[in-house]
Structure 1
Amino acid sequence: MSTSSHLAHNYHPLPVELATGEGAWVRDSDGREYLDLLAGYSALNFGHRHPALIAAAHAQLDRITLTSRAFSHDLLEPFADRLARLLGPLLDQRAETLVLPMNTGAEAVETAIKATRKWGYDVKGLAPDTATIVVASDNFHGRTTTIVSFSTDPEARDGFGPHTPGFRVVPYGDAAALAAAIDDTTVAVLLEPIQGEAGVVIPPAGYLPAVRELCTARDVLLVADEIQSGLGRTGTTLACELVGVRPDLVLLGKALGGGVVPVSAVVGRGDVLGVLTAGTHGSTFGGNPLACAVGLAVIELLETGEHQRRAAVLGAHLRTRLTAMVDEGLLVARRSAGLWAGVDVDPGRGTGRQVSERLLERRVLVKDTHGQTVRIAPPLTIEQEHLDWGVDQLTDVLR
């Protein structure tokens, strides 16, 4: 690896330089093989270089890659139609389901903020510049200036003011606090059904249903950020399905691009997304032909339900193994949903970073968060024997 760099230091990566990848395995520049148990923070739900996704990208590269939205192309409507058909039954269906394609997760969040505010003014009749959105503490929705304005993580927020107004932060998992924060200016509640960056934090069982009930009663939009949790990760297409909740809007990213290209989307009620008209919002690359080709291939993988079922089965196995580690005293706690887990390390056994570095030496890739937590999010295509081998390495490191 190079000892000097002209790269801005906005990340603190583990000391490995990856060169190739296939499925759940990657190789570094020296040819050493590693098991990837992070999967690009769920961007690689289908593994590295999934054959169907790579084939779709290759085929589209020979046709056309970008038109801008000044023109249409032959995959834009099919992409929107297939995504709406996949997710529409899982969302509030009081209006036709629409899809607004963007590029990154943060752009999807920003798009939802704009759409819900404009809906508040155009439909609810709020006075100009008064709309508020309720969010949760310990959230992670991206790193733009607007989004970090309602972050409670000092590292993400401090030094980037003045911060954007219009957001009310309440404790995650506290439905009573959320109810108290809603008033006549509230247009939306923006939540992660499971908080990923916070360490795979799962709210109490009745929390999201209570939020849904509150939003319906107060004519407030429920916006579910499923950028990390969605598209099979939790053993369901959306994490909201786990508790039977149908959001008004759902935000997608990461896995929607299959680890090939950045693809994101806001999907939901047409009467909400319909307030955005020509000139009010856009993106040069949003919904480009290459993104739609890969996105369509991702949707096709999800339509069978195979990857969701696989995540549920392997996730149950992972949960059993991690629970045994808690019982043995190797871990302080574990939280999991589908093939996604956050484990808390006893400080006496090292920090999350130190555990991640020791696993790197054993050819297993994970990443720490918030000091003592390590996240585990393998590709949904991982073989059980390989998952077990990775957990064995974690067990040995902690022992």
Structure 2
Amino acid sequence: MSGGQERTTSQAEWLERYGASHIGVFGAPGLVISRGEGCWVWDVDGRRYLDLVSGIAVNALGHSHPELVAAISKQAGELVHVSNFFTTTAQVGAAERILALADAPAGSGVFFTNSGTESVEAAIKLSRRTGRSRIVALEGAFHGRSTGALALTHKAAYREPFEPLIPHVVHVPPGDVAALRAAVDERTAMVLLEPVQGEAGVLPLDGDYLRAAREVTREVGALLVLDEIQTGIGRTGAWFAHQHHGVVPDAMTLAKGLGGGVPIGALVTFGPETTALLAPGQHGSTFGGNPLACSAALTVLDTIESEGLVTRAGELGEHLVAAVAALEDPRLGPVRGLGLLRAIPLRGLASTDVVAAARRAGFIVNPVAPDAIRLAPPLVITAAELDGFVTALPSILDDATRSSS
């Protein structure tokens, strides 16, 4: 049978074929998705789900947004790849747009990658160009799974099977300014922080801590790099989460929502001194900055702005917080996070059971922690769609309770 033929139709059969053809790093997929529209997706059996995860904060415009579809189709018909011996109008335009939205000063720059992990790898190389090697990250941090980024990711179960990793990485408790000050000295090349720790359970760092990080890195001449891979591109109610707190980093990493589903990431440097650390020939990417991905990114940024989705993300996030609180359900804790990056804490229930029950009810959520579910819906979601989930939540919890007993 050729790869293009589809002799099977049921979800169970497709999942069996998946297991027989893939390296099992992801385990068994929960669904086989066939199509999407707006904030909804359908599986191959024809069942519909409200997508409240959006590919883990990737599908910023939802599924099949007409502007993004048109831009990708047009660019595919003109030019898909040229290599970085050359540039394209899409690449230049996307870089300029990112710098403008970041309020980056003159002399700032963008290096396009294909993923968040690659953006972090570029940041590691940037920091090494300071002549130092020590990197300070946070306990609970997640920065990727390549061998460089993995050293900065905190979870031991991710790191230990692949050690030894790059040396001189120190993890300190989030929010502890004294611990940060004790760890950062003249040996430190970079402090790397997520403004909201996503994989740790959607845990925001407060403004005082981020400002202290900015202060201590300046004191010793280290770089402050902010990992905005999950928090950037309007998700938290600002274009980039650090803008809530008036902190200007030396660099930031981007990916996820930037391409609206098309793979693209970026390392963004602030100011000429940081930009100049990477000289010609010191880094590269075959596919980074390709015109298809850059055209998608430019369209995502323009559409988010024209549809007012940044402000709306902040407003809908607060709407969700209030709606969940109004349930007064003792099985739920106060919603945490920023904008449309949220976690709902659970009391007495396992998140995996709640996720399974939500899927049975037609909702896709994520077990971000053993006792919390994550919501990172498309920025185009409506209040009515969020309310539909909140209204169903008590019955979802009832189902989870029955299933676990």
State the TM-score, normalized to the length of structure 2.
Answer: 0.90
Tell me if structure 2 keeps the 8 A contact 1:14–1:357: no
Task: Kindly provide the CA deviation profile for residues 304-358 of structure 1, in whole angstroms up to 9, marking residues without a partner as x.
Answer: 4701111011111001122334x431213421211121122123xx311110000
> How far did residue 137 of structure 1 move?
0.6
Q: Which residue of 2 aligns with 1:82?
A: 97
Correspondence for 2:107: 96
What is the CA–CA distance in structure 2 between the aligned matches of 1:25 and 1:10, rounded to whole Å? Answer: 26
| C-alpha distance in structure 1 between counterparts of 2:307 and 2:195, whole Å | 20
| Aligned counterparts of 1:367 and 1:5: Cα–Cα separation in 2 | 25
What are the equivalent positions in structure 2 for 1:197-212 lying under 5 Å apart? 197-212=199-214
Match of 2:127, as an amino acid?
Answer: T
**Runs ≥4 in structure 1, deviation > 3 angstroms?**
302-305
Deviations 1:144-176 (A, max 9, x none): 112222332122112111121021111111111
Aligned to 1:140: 142
Look up the match of 1:126.
none
Partner of 1:28: 43
- What do the CA deviations read for 1:178-236 (whole angstroms, capped 9, x no partner)? 11101111121100000111111012342111111222222221101000011111111
State the match for 2:173 in structure 1: 171
2: CA distance, partners of 1:25 / 1:343 = 21
Tell me how far apart the structure 1 counterparts of residues 342 and 296 of structure 2 sit (CA, whole Å). 27
Segments of 5+ residues of structure 2 without an aligned counterpart are 1-10, 399-405
Please report how far the alpha carbon of residue 390 of structure 1 lies from its aligned counterpart in structure 2 after TM superposition: 1.2
Partner SS state of residue 158, structure 1: helix
* Secondary structure of residue in 2 paired with 1:266: strand
Q: Distance in 2 between matches of 1:12 and 1:351?
A: 19
**Which residue does 2:318 correspond to in 1?**
316
Q: Does 1:393 align with 2:392?
A: yes
The AA in structure 2 aligned to 1:75 is A
Counterpart Cα distance in 1 of 2:26 and 2:390: 26
Find out whether 1:267 has 2:276 as its counterpart. Answer: no
Whole-Å separation in 2 of the counterparts to 1:322 and 1:201: 18
> What is the CA-CA distance between 1:70 and the residue it aligns to?
2.1
1:47 aligns with 2:62: yes
Aligned residues: 382
Unaligned runs of 5+ in 1: 122-129
Instruction: Note the 1:228-267 alignment, pairs <5 A.
Output: 228-259=230-261, 261-267=262-268
SS at match of 1:56: helix
Quick one: distance in 2 between partners of 1:322 and 1:203?
22
Task: Classify 1:316/1:322 alpha carbon distance in 2 versus 1 (closer, same or farther; 3 Å).
Answer: same
Q: Is the 8 A contact 1:192 1:225 kept in 2?
A: yes
Tell me: higher relative CO, structure 1 or 2? Use CA pairs within 8 A at least 6 residues apart. 1
- Secondary structure (helix, strand or coil) at the match of 1:314 reads helix
Q: Aligned with 1:173: secondary structure?
A: coil
Question: Alignment partner of 1:267: what SS?
Answer: strand
- Taking every aligned residue pair, what percent have the same amino acid on both sides? 38
Matched position secondary structure for 2:162 = coil
| Equivalent residue, structure 2, for 1:8 | 23
The 8 Å contact of residues 116 and 272 in structure 1, kept in 2 or not, is answered as: no
Question: TM-score, with normalisation over the residues of structure 1?
Answer: 0.92
3-state SS of paired residue (1:21)? strand
Following TM superposition, by how much is the alpha carbon of 1:13 offset from its aligned partner in structure 2, in angstroms? 5.3
Deviations 1:66-91 (A, max 9, x none): 1111222332222222221221x1x5
